[in-house]
A and B are shown apart, each in its own frame.
Chain A
Amino acid sequence: MMTLDPIMLARIQFAFTISFHIVFPAFSIGLASFLAVVEWRWLATGNDLYRDIYKFWVKIFAVAFGMGVVSGVVMSYQFGTNWSIFSDRVANVLGPLLGFEVLTAFFLESSFLGIMLFGWNRVSARMHFVATCIVAGGTLMSAFWILSANSWMQTPQGFTIAADGRLMPTDWLTIIFNPSFPYRLAHMVTAAYLSTAFVVGGVGAFYLWNKQHMPQARIMLGMAVMMAALVAPVQLFIGHLHGDNTLKYQPAKIAAMEGNWDRTSHAPLYLFGWPNQAAEKTEYGITIPDGASWILTGHADGVIPNLKSFPPEDRPMAAPLFWSFRVMVGLGVLMILIGLTSATQYARGKLFESRWLYLWWMAMMPSGFIALLAGWFVTEIGRQPYVAYGVIRTAQAVSPALVGPQVAWSLLCFVVIYILVFGAGSYYILKLIRTGITAPEEAGTYYTHSTEASVIKSIKPGADHV
């Protein structure tokens, strides 16, 4: 019988469940803020196009948020089921961060979401806007705490190790604002905004291409163009600062990202290559000489870390890290390009005549999510072989009573259910996009039976509620 390694399976299960999960909160963070802006524009200008946009995207938001919630519950229990040693050792330090996430964010979001989705004819327009803003604020608050906790695992500080191996807090501010946290928070929230912008822009472009809902679609694409042109370049800069921080605190991760095994100075920038862990070299390289040294230090002869200076058991897997990084940066560059191109076309008054540009925007729809996942692969694979960097090894963190078949079973269950459930979720989101912006009267017959029908009816001014 083949042996099932519980550690490897538990790692795969965590990677699988969290990768599925993160897409939805990221989308929710972006969409909630987007909806707040749209509702604000509607209240401020009285322009009903914004109302149409709001009521269209709020349906998609509801689906994405629901999937984020249910896949998130899994996270808060999986630490215990599969990683009990980790939980026992770090809870004194990380516990409050996760606790505060629930107390300051989750309750806020879930309670006011009800009002946001179903409260149209029960609260005033102003109160409804407040609810939208509270939900948007809640998503950001949640990002604050969870990224603080994740960053602490990358750059743990502010603790001592007790005699029994448990970590005890010594300074809360150092724990919460650990060295990599500000960069990771900025990078992730910006990534969430950009990912959402590319979905919104892609949908706008899709409608423009099909000549449907043109006035609303122009606003969607216009807002997305602004984000891409202004924020995508900023994201590159934030990412660069984040990299500098990683260079200081997790040099092995940087070495793997650059595929650098032995150079100290004059390290080349690999545009392509295949890091071979066993042979300890990067094969098939296409390089820019001195490129990596120049980017990381500002000098062609700058000294950068190399993998061979770390014992083999302390090195992260270089190949997936190296490639995830290139996917992320490549997509980032494409985002900047499309942003600048679209802004130029806009300035020339030709944005809404360039059909080739619509195609490009449609193709870019998933780009944000792919880049975001790739970025997380970089940072999480780069944290290995530690679960708390330099303090607790992943292999020592797993629950001792866990046996292989048990994890294989749960992993299989998660894979099957997630593919079915989130496949259906994506299908319904696409269906909503295909259906487009429906006038209240056009809503399906069944739909008018539901509470959500109240959303549609009440958005329409002068709708007859009786």
Chain B
Amino acid sequence: MFDFSPYLDLPLIWGVLIATAILLYVLLDGFDLGIGILFPFAPSDKCRDRMMNSIAPFWDGNETWLVLGGGGLFAVFPLAYAILLPAFYMPIITMMLGLITRGVAFEFRFKSSEQSRRLWDYAFHFGSLTAAFSQGVILGSFVQGVQITGRNFSGGVFDWATGFSMVTGMAVVCGYALLGSTWLVMKTEDVTQDWARRAASYVLIFVGLFMGVVSITMPFLNPKISTFWFSTPNVFYLMPIPVATALSFFFIWRGLRTKAEFTPFLLSLAVFLMGYLGLGISLYPWIIPFQYTLWDAASSGPTLSLLLVGIVPLLPIILSYTAYSYYIFRGKASHEHLY
């Protein structure tokens, strides 16, 4: 039984890896959930076809990061998995149901008759909306912390339903809509692109508002967060995060005005990255905020070592063929040439 724990800080390495997997999930599934959120507002059925086509080859791979997040948490931080999942029981179930209804809509929509296609359009929309909102709720209640006795969650069925988690729910919905609309700016043209650009500029305002509200609320949730952010010299070291976020917002806005195609999407990713980083370092080293650290919740040395041996070669391979797939389906999701 090999065990690298005498030589490596395995829980820390795995904390970073799991955080990366969840970030990749949020960024990747974020844009395709966002397209579902915007779906009914598109100007025509033809636009909706293009929106769907722009993500059809990717959504499945994107969602696999969520499976890695769940499976990874189970394997690497089982205590967190065993406490957090029962704590977020209802939002997790609604997220699943949302993901199911939207996932099948990809296939069913193209196989259904004229009349029932509308049904799958709405299944796609409400499924995406429910999944995104549930994820935001989970995020909010995760940050607020859960009630624990020993190694188990001991709170109530509705503990997750707080004002703050509702706000984070809506924040994630708007954030995904921003990713989705800027993705469309990049991947479509003509009517769809013009509409996506308008949608992105509206959504951008809401994303700014919600990010502001969440950022202001966070330090009040726990004194540890406020001392971390506002004590010197931290305040100077951390300054780049809000500054970079503000700059990203500005350049997304300008990119939309100047009809840039790539910058709005890439900078939307940057906004998410900054938000995620800010959240991550506020909560470090807790995996269950303010109760259990990464080291408390980690699996045994041999378990973490075996998985590390696996992920070191596999992650670069996965990232390369994911990139290959995005490369194959590069360019505009136009299908004019198919007629």
Interface residue ranges, A against B (CB under 8 Å): 59, 62-63, 66-67, 69-74, 76-77, 79-82, 84-85, 87-88, 91-96, 98-104, 106-108, 110-115, 117-119, 122-123, 168-172, 399-403, 405-406, 409-410, 413-414, 417-418, 421, 424-425, 428, 431-432, 446-454, 457, 465-466
Interface residue ranges of B5-53 to A (CB < 8 Å): 46, 49, 52-53
- B209 in contact (CB, < 8 A): no
Q: How far is the CB of B66 from chain A (nearest CB, A)?
A: 6
* Majority secondary structure of chain A interface residues (helix, strand, loop or mixed): helix
Cβ of B201 within 8 Å of any chain A Cβ, yes or no, is: no
Min distance, Cβ A69 to any Cβ of chain B, angstroms: 6
Inter-subunit contact B108/A428 (CB<8 Å): yes
The answer, among A70, A88, A114, A451, for a CB contact under 8 Å with B335, is A451
Given contacts A73-B99, A111-B318, A425-B104, 11 further A-B contacts (CB under 8 A): A66-B103, A85-B152, A87-B74, A99-B68, A99-B310, A102-B67, A110-B60, A110-B61, A113-B60, A114-B58, A450-B53
Check if B311 is an interface residue, CB within 8 A of chain A. Answer: yes
Contact between A118 and B57 (Cβ–Cβ < 8 Å)?
yes
The residue that A66 contacts in the complex, of B46, B66, B106, with Cβ under 8 A, is B106
Q: How many A-B residue pairs have CB under 8 A?
A: 263
- Residues of chain A with a CB closer than 8 A to B99's CB: 70, 73
A-B contact pairs, 6 of them (CB 8 A): A66-B106, A92-B299, A102-B71, A401-B153, A410-B89, A425-B107
Q: Is the CB of A99 within 8 A of B85?
A: no
What residues of chain B have their CB less than 8 Å away from a CB belonging to chain A?
Answer: 1, 46, 49, 52-53, 56-58, 60-61, 63-64, 66-68, 70-76, 78-79, 81-90, 92-93, 96-97, 99-101, 103-104, 106-108, 110-112, 114, 117, 151-155, 157, 299-300, 302-303, 306-307, 310-311, 314-315, 318, 321-322, 324-325, 328-329, 333, 335, 337-339
Contacts of A95 in B (CB 8 A): 71, 74-76, 78, 299, 303, 307
A451 and B64 CA atoms in complex are apart in Å by 22
Query: What's the least CB distance linking A212 to chain B, in Å?
Result: 19
Given A85-B82, A417-B97, A91–B71 Cβ distance below 8 Å? no
Partner among B73, B82, B325 whose Cβ is within 8 Å of the Cβ of A115:
B325
Q: Max chain B CB contacts within 10 Å: which of A98, A114, A406?
A: A114
* CA distance in complex: A418, B152 (Å): 30
Decide: A106 and B64 in contact? CB cutoff 8 A. yes
- The one of A59, A72, A94, A118 that contacts B56, using a Cβ cutoff of 8 Å: A118
Contacting pair B100 A71 (CB below 8 A): yes
A170 to B83, CA, bound (A): 26
Contact of B84 among A80, A107, A172 (CB under 8 A): A80
In contact, B82 and A66 (Cβ under 8 angstroms): no
Residues A77 and B70 in contact, CB atoms below 8 Å apart: yes
Query: Whole-angstrom distance between the alpha carbons of A296 and B64 in the complex?
Result: 43
